[in-house]
Every structure is written in structure tokens, then in C-alpha cells.
Amino acid sequence: MGCVPIEITAFINWLTGWIFGIAGGISFLLMVYGFIKLSVSGDDPKAMQGAKETITSAITGLLISIFCGFILRLLLINILHLPGIS
């Protein structure tokens, strides 16, 4: 099937790498968008507040994604000792 692994453990490792990469890319783009909105907002307090909320949401989403990866690794590898997952 091309570069997609067909074994379940290899597929899970491949999929988690892609998911966390996409989540990081999206939050980076949202942060850039928020910073651009912040620099263009001028003296408008509503636009400035919206830009700050966009940046805060992007950082929060990235942190949640990182903590989810940590919790999954903790549960699956350290506590349950599932074989083949790294």
C-alpha cells in the first residue's frame, strides 16, 4: 500500500507522527495568523482582543496535543506495557 504500514503497531506509530505533525503545523499557522492580526489591528481594541484570543487558543491547543501524546505514551507503554508500541 505504498508508504503506509500494514502492521497495526507500525501503522499506529506512523499515524501518531502524522497527527502530531499536523496539529503542530495548524497551531503554528494559527499563531502566525494571530500575530499578523495583532500587528494590523492598530488601535482597535476589539480586533486586538480577537488576535490575542487566537494566539492563546493556538498555544492552548498545542499544549493539549502535547499532553495527550504524553498521557497516551504513559498509559500504553509505561503502565499497560503494550508490546510493539514505541
How many secondary structure helices (H) and strands (E) does the chain include?
2, 0
Helix (H) or strand (E) holding 42: none
Q: What is the pLDDT of residues 1-60, one digit of tens each?
A: 568 888 887 888 888 889 999 999 999 999 999 999 999 998 899 999 999 999 999 999
Identify whether the C-beta of residue 59 lies closer than 8 Å to the C-beta of residue 28.
Answer: no
Answer yes or no: is pLDDT of 86 > 70. Answer: no
pLDDT at 85: 66
Identify whether the C-beta of residue 68 lies closer than 8 Å to the C-beta of residue 55.
Answer: no
